[in-house]
Amino acid sequence: MTVRRLLAERTQGSVVMASATDIGGVRGMPTVRIEDLRSVGAAGDPGGRYGITMGAAGGGTLTGERVVLSGDTMSAVAVYGRRAEPETAMTLRHVIVEGTRAAACGSVPEGDPASCLRDGRSEAGGIGVLARDGGRLSLETFAVRGAELAGVLVAPGGRVELHRGLVAGNALGINLMVDDYDLALLDDEVFAFGNATDVAREELVLPDPGSLLIGAAGPPGAH
């Protein structure tokens, strides 16, 4: 599927998601291309509990050119796979991700069914771009700025490559949760500055990927 010249304003749930599905026993591995996308204020679900504006999961492939994601909730860009399945991959060129906010559930007291606080820690996100669990993400000619939690997050099992861009004005600029990560993958004319912490290795609590696609593809392992 190819989508061109798309404007999305204040959506609930994902704007674009390339996620593998089973239909009639046939496994589908979608390939999606996006050209000229602008998303403003994507809000996740009505209860503020999950959200990926632009994502790939479970073996899907997504490429994008000229993408602007502004003021979205939880995760503006997220790529994740499933074990023992084909690689999940996303490549974005000429992309701006700005002002990604934490979801509303992070301010609901722990113990309330609407809360996403667990043991005093929040799963509300506020992540500009994220790769985890077999997801592969490449950004070329980009800016990631103003994320409430982290601009670029490399979680266990994820791989991120950065080329010609800046990571600025985020709480955490680049956060690495992978031991001995190859920093050369993040250092091709990439500038991280003006973040509260430019490069960190904090163990953040991440939203369960299954909760991010409620009402869409279903949780990992459901197919």
CA distance 175 to 189: 18
Residue 112 lies in a domain: yes
Q: Is 170 helix (H, G, I), strand (E, B) or coil?
A: coil
CA distance 150 to 188: 20
Q: What is the pLDDT of residue 219?
A: 33
- 194-207 pLDDT, tens digit each: 999 999 987 776 76
CA distance 49 to 223: 22
Q: Provide the terminal-to-terminal Cα distance of the chain, rounded to the nearest Å.
A: 22
Residue 21 lies in a domain: no
Q: How many domains does the chain have?
A: 1
The pair of structure tokens assigned to 129 is 């771009």
Residue 218 lies in a domain: no
Residue 153 predicted with pLDDT over 50:
yes
CA distances from 57 to 4, 29, 81, 105, 179 (A): 21, 10, 5, 23, 23
Mean pLDDT across the chain: 85
The pair of structure tokens assigned to 98 is 């700005």
pTM of this structure? 0.86
Residue 162 lies in a domain: yes
Residue 17 lies in a domain: no
Instruction: Determine what percent of the chain is predicted with pLDDT higher than 70.
Output: 83
Arithmetic mean of pLDDT, 151-156: 94
Q: Which range marks the domain in which residue 144 is found? A: 2-8+27-212
Residue 76 lies in a domain: yes
Residue 183 lies in a domain: yes
CA distance 72 to 24: 34
Q: What is the pLDDT of residue 208?
A: 63
Arithmetic mean of pLDDT, 66-73: 94
Residue 221 lies in a domain: no
Residue 222 predicted with pLDDT over 50:
no
